[in-house]
Structure 1
Amino acid sequence: MSQTERLKEFKKSVNNKFNVYNSLFLNLPYQNTENVGILIPLLVHQCQEGLKNGKNPQDILEEFFENFASLDTEKARIDFMFRIIQYVERQVVLFDSVEDAAFPKMHEHSLSLSIKDYFQLVDKNKSWDKVADKLSNFSARIVLTAHPTQFYTPAVLDIIDELRSLILEDRIDDIDIALQQLGLTSLINLKKPTPLDEAKNIIYTLRNVYYDAVGSLYSYIKENIKDDKFENHKIMQLGFWPGGDRDGNPYVTAKITKEVADELRVNLMKCYYNDLKVLQKKLTFKELDAHIKELRESLYIAMFDTRKHVGYENIIKPLEAIRELLVDKYHSLYLKDLDNLIDKVKIFKTHFAILDIRQDHSQHTKTVEAILKKNKIIDKSLDELTTAKLRDVLLKEELSVSVKDYDDPIVKDTIRNISQLRGIQRKNGVESCDRYIISNSEDMFSVLFVYGLFRWCGWDDDKITFDIVPLFETMKGMETSEATMEALFKIPQYRAHLERRGNKHTIMLGFSDGTKDGGYVKANWSIFKTKENLSKICKKNDVKAIFFDGRGGPPARGGGKTHRFYAAQTKDIANHEIQLTIQGQTITSTYGTKEQFMHNSEQLLTAGLSNNIFGKENVISKESRKLLEELSELSFEKYDALKHHDKFMPYLEDMSTLKYYTKANIGSRPGKRGNKKKLELSDLRAISFVGSWSQLKQNVPGYFGIGTAIQTMKEEGKLRDLKKLYKEVPLFRALMLNSMMSLSKCYFELTSYMKDNEEYGEFWNILHEEYLLSKKMLLMISGSKILMENEAVSRESIKIRENIVLPLLVIQQNALQKIGQKSEFIELYEKIVTRSLYGNINASRNSA
């Protein structure tokens, strides 16, 4: 289908419907807000015209209040602005609902490859043996993280779900009532969520969307594959970080990890119980009664009592006994329904999603040091030991540790958590929690410290049922990653551990901190090369490399179009599984409904499989690599100079929303690492860093340096080479298209008043010039006339969303200005900044 038809469908199913329901919504009479809804379209127009004409946000609002809202006192104006924010964030919810409801219709006009299309292609290429073999072993895992880049409460998610259904049926009166409900339901957390709250929020999606979606996807693959014996229940897996990810979050404790593991299991039992209840109404046959009743009773107990748990065998065996009777005695009646439940049980077992444990290397260093001091192996510091001696202590020394011997909370919790992981495996199954990820890995000790800690916390060497996963996220970590893995493979004890784990090694490569550290192109190119090098080293050592990608949502966090990213991998990158993190707006926008989940999971699978099956392997020539290398270094130089500009951190602290992220009750994790008084870039969380640039509508981490790099190469006479690179190398094209997406969400007019600022005017100009240059250069090498030229629907969606949040952004900038001017209402203006974060972040859902 052409882009034109998709755009036509979008205008009909999304744009027009939103306009109808939005006008309905804006006329709803809420308490003290009689005129607010009616004034919003007028305010949008004033903001658009004012910013286009170079006006200051403060002046735009001043004129609006004087000419249209008749509000004379500052206090009355502040109250009005709060009500605007409440309306705008609900408009975003409404647009989300309309867009989600239109997804099946839009999908009919999609050009992307479904599993069915893919199998037809396989038929044509006569490559069934190859694909059946690959499908039997291939796996994609999406790992849900707690990172708060979109935050709707379960109550609001229920309303969105209800609105989706009503919009599909055009039930205008019921939509009216649901919009009234939305208007009166709070969209914000009254207090900071705990890690358990975050986990429950995401388990809500597991239970209400993914449980059925994964089951349906598996059935769909089974029906379409020409292989009766097909059975790969790991083809689509779910991973889970909330409650296990303690990196930089002191609130994730051993107790929380245990509670989240219980929560996952209990919610899965509820899903099984409900399915069995529905099935029981169909399987009304005498000899099945006892089996069904017994299984129902054990599931019922396991649903409410976390001390009681049903083992996998105790669920699957009764179901298989029922199946046998159904086939032998009852004409296989409702066999398909029963098989669907059996498949779900084989997929989710007793864990639902695989809970990962993650911690920063520095915390393990602290714990190991404390243990060795206590055992008199060192006096003060690990530096007292040679590399060889420290390695021997970790691999051979028999120490037993006890929580009560230590005072430091991190040390106590690390020991307590590693000691309790066997209990979680006992209740939820061994594969329920079998990976320990180490952030900021830079040498072999990042892995060996964890190996040693397992040994000292009561795990026998031959019974460590955990994969120890280094996360190479900084430039240094990536540079030393080959040496790190090579050193590990040479250690006999570690090799023996790998053999017990199936001679596979999962390696995580992080995007968020890489992008923050090295700039967009260098971070992504470094990750790509690191993958190729690590694939070689693993292959040489007969180890299967599994890459786990820490992809954020927007390109600035290493995200962007996922299918495009995986389809651009070369044949030199190990491709046994696809594993990636999804979070925030990516959970709701890309995998938020059953239809979206199935479609995007199919895209993941076809991208991963296509590289192997059809011989269209991407190869990047030496010349192309040289160009990419040069571009990467030039863009890094420009980004690095910006990073070290003396106004870089002060600008973020004084002119952006950076310090308000921690006040927003968005997530449980502190906004920065450590307690230093002076804020440093390395302490900053990627979410608040990238989010602050996004709120400014400057999106610096997603493109900065690219314009200068391309212009420099153009001056060296390499423009034709770059155009060729864009046309022929999928990786380069994917990176440039992602940057164009970041650029298309920039709106420097919003902050153009800053160019006259005495302290920051020059710095703002540096940002603005690079934005203009990057846009110009990217259009030049891609041959496009406008940004996102071939993505008309995404472009249109972004445009509508940006229009919805424009008043909110102008109000936010006005509040930041008032705070800078030390207004007497400073506290209220600070609240306005904090409150305005929500709608803008939620509106950015189509970044990935």
Structure 2
Amino acid sequence: MIDQRIERRSAAVTEMPDELRNDVRLLGKLLGQVIAEQGGEDLLADVERLRKAVIAARRGETSADEITAMVAEWEIDRAVQIARAFTCYFHLANLAEEHYRIRTLRERDTEGGVQRESLAQAVDELGGERVAELVGDMELRPVLTAHPTEARRRAVVTAIQRVSAQLTDYNTPGRGASERAENTRRLLEEIDLLWRTAQLRSTKLDPLDEVRTAMAAFDETLFRVVPQVYRSLDAALGDDSGTRPPLARPFIRYGSWIGGDRDGNPNVTAKVTREAVQIQSEHVLTALETATTRIARTLTASAQFAPPSLDLNAALTAARDAHPELVSELGTRSPKEPHRQWLLYVAARIAATRRRDLDLAYLAPGDLIADLRLAQESLAGHAVRQAYGELQHLIWQVETFGFHLAELEVRQHSQVHAAALEELHAGGELSERTEEVLATIRVIAWIQERFGVRACSRYVVSFTRDAADVAAVYELAQHALGSRAPVLDVVPLFESGQDLANSPQVLSGMLEIPQVRDRLAATGRSLEIMLGYSDSAKELGPAAATLRLYEAQERLTAWAAEHDVHLLMFHGRGGALGRGGGPANRAVLAQAPGSVAGRFKVTEQGEVIFARYGHLAIARRHMEQVANAVLMTSSPSVAAATAAAASRFRPLAEQVATASEQAYRSLTEADGFPEWFALVSPLEEIGSLRLGSRPARRGLGAPRSLDDLRAIPWVFAWAQTRVNLPGWYGLGTGLASIGSMDELRAAYREWPLFNALLDNAEMSLAKTDRSIAERYLALGGRPDFARQVLEEYDRTRSLVLEVTGHARLLANRKVLSRAVQLRDPYVDALSHLQLRALRALRTGNPSDHERDRLSTLLLLSVNGVAAGLQNTG
């Protein structure tokens, strides 16, 4: 074990590029200076002692027992300060890696040629193979959710962003000595503020806080990245992009559950849903107004060199008649610049839409698009670059975001609907919960009336077991509003293994529901269903859940073909590997043949939102990678190869899944396992982090079974113990059940699903630390459980390496390997601090005051480990 750790550590050190090393050292040095200034040289000395000790332990030069003794020497308050120091270090190390990734993306972009996993590469590789049809039908639907997996406070995120801005300036080529000195001073100022910013939330988030947090991603990234992605596709489809009508149509549609998902969250009410869509609208209309004004002010083309069309002149005359003072003022400010006048007038109308000034406001996004196209068509006659440049970007933005920004989706549990209908049928006084269900439907109707059906029509039903669960929503809508019921597309969510198996029968039953038949007729026989990754993985284990989801997709694809239905499968993936996470583009390529068909819808949760959409360059790369995968997996040749591999290796995969599920259930369904898990992990304390508005657990008290736990804290708690069990447990037993290593290796090479399963497990194993994990598992007083977990870890690690042919974990993933190994020793430091607190809370008898201080240490360490591992749930 020691030899493996030395090998992993040395490999990471040799692989770190100079630019990244320099940034990490710079930020680490400045953090050390801040710590010494604020906490004294003795605090910095203690931080350094622990840092050097954990590095020495990785080299086999000291023992974990010695580190435990060192940590035990410190007063709790000193341990809290040291935990803060390592947490701040991780925030800065993550920032340095983000900067290096951005630099790398830009360098690749300047090297020429077609970038790997880009839209250009997909178009180039597909050639004439249905590329026009595939592009014409493509849809990408990321859905932002408020699932509580972002451990950082928003104040911490913004502090990091300010450090990021200063680091960018510091690394700008050509900076003089005085400029560099000023940058260093500013870096110290911002790192000092990061150090002084509380890492833990003092108050619980409410749903509207979550809405506003997500809006930061829209304001800073999403609004700007969408036209860049479309432009990239347009350039790949034909020469002279920007001087002709676009060949690329908008294919991205954002959705949101934030403020709409009330399943298990009583804090999400009809009032919250109404306010959420209003906040969204305020942000998108502000962004559209700003963009329109910016383009208008730069559009200084004179009528002499870009004469307006007859239609534009007529429109300006009509506008002058309707709003003489406004248009006269615009004409005075922009004489003989008709296109500028027109766009300034359009900007004024967008502002009026935001203010609800009905005399001037647009009634619908289509009216705004018509006005923008009027300017575009006028410019196309004499100034094509102005017609199809920034103005086209603006049109794409309106087409993508409308006046609502993202489609707000409602989700509720099927049992809530059943209980509401039971009350309504009984004819007695309605409970508050039933009244809330009816109020939610009325709010959906109000949203549709105000912003259009596209703004909110999808209603997701959790734990759909039967078509009656879908019919219940339509019946409730009749109770709520009768003939004025809103347009609803009820989306069944299949989560458990049994529900996944029964899903085609449920859909057949849905075809008998009159409202579903009406919606099929209205939408060209389009139907949407949702697949739940989190609960299926928690129930079955990672390997079995992966195969059962794949099988469900195959059956559903066949069902759709048989019933002439265009089926959109909505993938409810989490951020962590134990909840269906991992690289999104590889996840797309691993889907069952025919199940994507040019359309992919997926949840983007918690810390994933800011990891993927926190910076423009990274967001663009992510969107292009996913779009590339959607095009590739939808092509006939790729689909045929995947189908052939699936057919060949299906018996093998079934055997792996069956054996792995048996191993997983033998642990998780054993008597006393939930109680043991609560003892060996910070499960109980995670709720105190106030990660989100949603309760962390179903019901009250300690968990009596896995059903009592939500998937997020289940995964989050295992990550904290450095075990990462949900990402790999049972896979080793599954692989061991196969007699032929050659067949396993062939499946890994040829079948994208099996490849993704093993690679994801390998990533999870790489974030596991056996020696640290042993110390957590020992806290539960069940050596049998601890032995079972560690034996499966050893088995899985060994067989995964043997199948993949890798000499060490992540040997073929240089960037990820470097990221994991760079952090490992420092995560160890926080784990030792967390273990001290957890041990005292579990086995000691602390006073109330000491318990509070120990809890603070525990929660700070939880926050820091999450930052170090770069994922929570």
TM-score strictly above 0.5: yes
Indicate conservation of the 8 Å contact 2:569/2:595, yes or no. no
Q: Which residue pairs with 2:119 in the alignment?
A: 115
The match for 1:352 is 405
What is the SS of the residue equivalent to 1:480? helix
Q: Give CA deviations for 1:177-198 in whole Å, capped at 9, x if unaligned.
A: 2212222233332200001001
Do 2:138 and 2:251's aligned partners in 1 also have CA atoms closer than 8 Å?
yes
Partner of 1:90: 88
Q: Which residue of 2 aligns with 1:183?
A: 195
The aligned counterpart of 1:135 is: 135
Aligned ranges for residues 557-576 of structure 1 at < 5 Å?
A: 557-576=579-598
Mean CA deviation greater in 273-282 or 595-604: 273-282
Q: Tell me, in whole angstroms, the C-alpha distance in 2 between the residues paired with 1:758 and 1:502.
A: 56
**Matching of residue 546 in structure 1 with residue 568 in structure 2:** yes
Task: Give the whole-Å Cα distance in 1 for the aligned partners of 2:807 and 2:510.
Answer: 51
**C-alpha distance 842-575 of structure 1, shift in aligned 2 (>3 A):** farther
Amino acid at match of 2:297: K
Matched-pair contact (CA < 8 Å) for 1:139–1:235: yes
Match runs of 1:133-282 below 5 Å: 133-169=133-169, 170=171, 171-226=183-238, 230=246, 233-282=249-298
Partner of 1:455: 478
Partner of 1:674: 699
Is residue 2:809 matched to residue 1:775?
A: no
1:700 deviates by: 0.9
How many Å apart are 1:835 and its aligned residue?
A: 2.5
Give the CA deviation at 1:109.
5.3
Structure 1: stretches of 5+ with no match in the other structure? 72-76, 376-404
Counterpart pick for 2:817 among 783, 795, 799: 795
- Secondary structure (helix, strand or coil) at the match of 2:141 reads strand
- The alignment partner of 1:580 has SS state of strand
Q: Is the 8 A contact 1:247 1:360 kept in 2?
A: yes
| CA drift at 1:678 | 5.3
Please, which of 829, 844, 866 is the counterpart of residue 821 of structure 1?
A: 844
Q: Which residue of 1 aligns with 2:44?
A: 37
Structure 2 vs 1, CA of residues 48 and 648 (structure 1 numbering), >3 Å: closer, same or farther? farther
**Cα shift readout 1:310-334 (whole Å, capped 9, x = no counterpart):** 5314432332333344445777647
Q: Do residues 663 (structure 1) and 722 (structure 2) align?
A: no
1:412 corresponds to which of 435, 438, 449? 435
- The SS at the match of 2:698 is coil
The residue aligned with 1:78 is 76
In structure 2, C-alpha distance between the alignment counterparts of 1:812 and 1:189, rounded to whole Å: 18
- Select which of 644, 647, 672 maps to 2:669: 644
Matched residue, 2:550: 528
Of 752, 756, 764 in structure 2, the residue corresponding to residue 734 of structure 1 is 756
Report whether the alignment pairs 1:629 with 2:661.
no
Q: Does 1:501 align with 2:517?
A: no
- Give the TM-score of the pair, scaled to structure 2: 0.86
Closer, same or farther in 2 for the Cα pair 1:513/1:34, shift >3 Å? same
Partners of 2:756 and 2:409 lie apart in 1 by: 29
Aligned-pair distance for 1:779?
1.0
Any idea what the Cα deviations from partners look like across 1:272-291, whole Å, max 9, x if unmatched? 12212322321245324553
- Tell me, in whole angstroms, the C-alpha distance in 1 between the residues paired with 2:16 and 2:137: 38
TM-score by length of 1: 0.89
The aligned counterpart of 1:707 is 732
2:862 matched to which residue of 1?
Answer: 837
Deviates further, 514-523 or 727-736: 727-736
Summarize deviations over 1:429-471 as a string: whole Å, max 9, x none. 221112111111111122111121122222549x752211111
Q: Aligned to 2:204, what secondary structure does the other structure show?
A: coil
Select the residue among 103, 106, 115 that pairs with 2:104. Answer: 106
Larger mean Cα displacement after TM superposition, 747-756 or 82-91 = 747-756
Give the C-alpha shift of residue 231 in structure 1.
5.8
Aligned residues: 798
Which of the numbers 367, 374, 388 marks the counterpart of 1:321? 374
Matches within 5 A, 1:685-704: 685-704=710-729
Residue identity in the other structure for 1:162:
R
How much has 1:24 moved relative to structure 2? 1.5
Change (3 A) 1:664 1:374: same
Distance in 1 separating the partners of 2:780 and 2:592 = 49
Report the CA distance between 1:611 and its aligned residue.
Answer: 2.2
Tell me the alpha carbon deviations over residues 666-717 of structure 1, each in whole angstroms, 9 at most, x when there is no partner: 111111113466533112111101101000000111111111222232xxx3
> CA deviation digits over 1:237-296, x for unaligned, max 9?
211111011111000000010111000000011111221232232124532455344333
User: After alignment, is 569-578 or 79-88 more displaced?
Assistant: 569-578
Contact 1:538 1:544 in 2 (8 A): yes
Question: Match for 1:752 among 774, 781, 784?
Answer: 774
Q: Contact 1:469–1:508 at 8 Å: present in 2 too? A: yes
Q: Secondary structure at the residue paired with 1:506? A: strand
After TM superposition, the structure 1 stretch with the greater mean CA deviation from structure 2, 794-803 or 608-617, is 608-617
Query: 1:385 is matched with which residue?
Result: none
Contact 2:448–2:486 (Cα < 8 Å) also in 1: no
- The 2-side partners of 1:41 and 1:214 are apart by 45
Q: 1:628 Cα deviation (Å)?
A: 0.5
Following the alignment from structure 1 to structure 2, what is the Cα–Cα distance between the partners of residues 694 and 306? 52
1:361 corresponds to which residue?
414
Contact preservation (8 Å) 2:659, 2:730: yes
Q: Deviation at 1:173? A: 3.3
Task: Give the distance between the partners of 1:478 and 1:55, measured in 2 at CA.
Answer: 50
Q: 1:54 to 1:576 in 2, by over 3 A?
A: same
Using a 3 Å threshold, how does the CA distance of structure 1 residues 146 and 450 change in structure 2: closer, same or farther? same
For residue 752 of structure 1, report the CA deviation from its aligned partner.
2.4
Gaps of 5+ in 2: 1-9, 110-114, 172-182, 301-333
Change (3 A) 1:26 1:474: same
Q: Which residue of 2 aligns with 1:12?
A: 18
Distance in 1 separating the partners of 2:702 and 2:805: 48
Looking at structure 1, the residues matched to 40 and 77 of structure 2 have their Cα atoms a distance apart, in angstroms, of: 10
- Residue 358 of structure 1 aligns to a residue whose secondary structure is strand
The one-letter code of the counterpart of 1:682 is D
Q: Could you tell me how far 1:96 is from its partner in structure 2?
A: 2.1
Question: Structure 2: how far apart are the matches of 1:707 and 1:332?
Answer: 59
Could you give the per-residue CA deviations for residues 547-606 of structure 1, whole angstroms, max 9, x where no partner exists? 110111121111112211211234243423111111122212233211111111111111
Q: In 1, distance between residues paired with 2:808 and 2:601?
A: 33
SS of the equivalent of 1:87 reads helix
Shift of 1:61: 4.2
> Does structure 2 retain, via aligned residues, the 8 Å contact 1:545–1:576?
no
**Amino acid across the alignment from 2:125:** L
- The 1:161–1:195 alpha-carbon spacing in structure 2 relative to 1, beyond 3 Å, is same
Which 10-residue stretch deviates more, 214-223 or 237-246? 214-223
AA of the residue aligned to 1:663? S
- 1:309-358 residue CA offsets vs partner (Å, 9 max, x unmatched): 85314432332333344445777647512221122111111111111111
CA distance in 1, matches of 2:763, 2:489: 36
SS of the equivalent of 2:737 reads: helix
Q: Which stretch of structure 1 is more off in the superposition, 824-833 or 601-610?
A: 824-833
Deviations 1:806-840 (A, max 9, x none): 22211111101111211332221122212322222
Q: CA deviation at 1:220?
A: 2.1
Quote the offset at 1:39 in angstroms. 3.1
Mean CA deviation greater in 740-749 or 669-678: 669-678
| Aligned residue runs from structure 1 range 548-627, under 5 A | 548-613=570-635, 615-617=637-639, 618-619=642-643, 620-627=645-652
- Deviation (angstroms), 1:102: 1.6
Deviation, structure 1 residue 53: 6.8
Contact 1:309 1:427 in 2 (8 A): no
Asked if structure 1 preserves the Cα contact closer than 8 Å seen for 2:139 and 2:252, the reply is yes
| CA pair 280-455 structure 1, distance change in 2 beyond 3 A | same
Give the secondary-structure state (helix, strand or coil) at the position aligned to 2:200.
coil
Determine the structure 2 residue equivalent to 1:430: 453
Aligned to 1:386: none
**Identical amino acids, percent of aligned pairs:** 25
1:23 to 24, 29, 35: 29
Q: Cα RMSD (Å) of the superposition?
A: 2.8
| CA–CA separation in structure 2 for the residues paired with 1:346 and 1:91 | 42
Is the partner of 1:458 in helix, strand or coil? helix
Match of 2:299 in 1: 283
Assess if the C-alpha contact under 8 Å between 1:510 and 1:550 holds in 2: yes
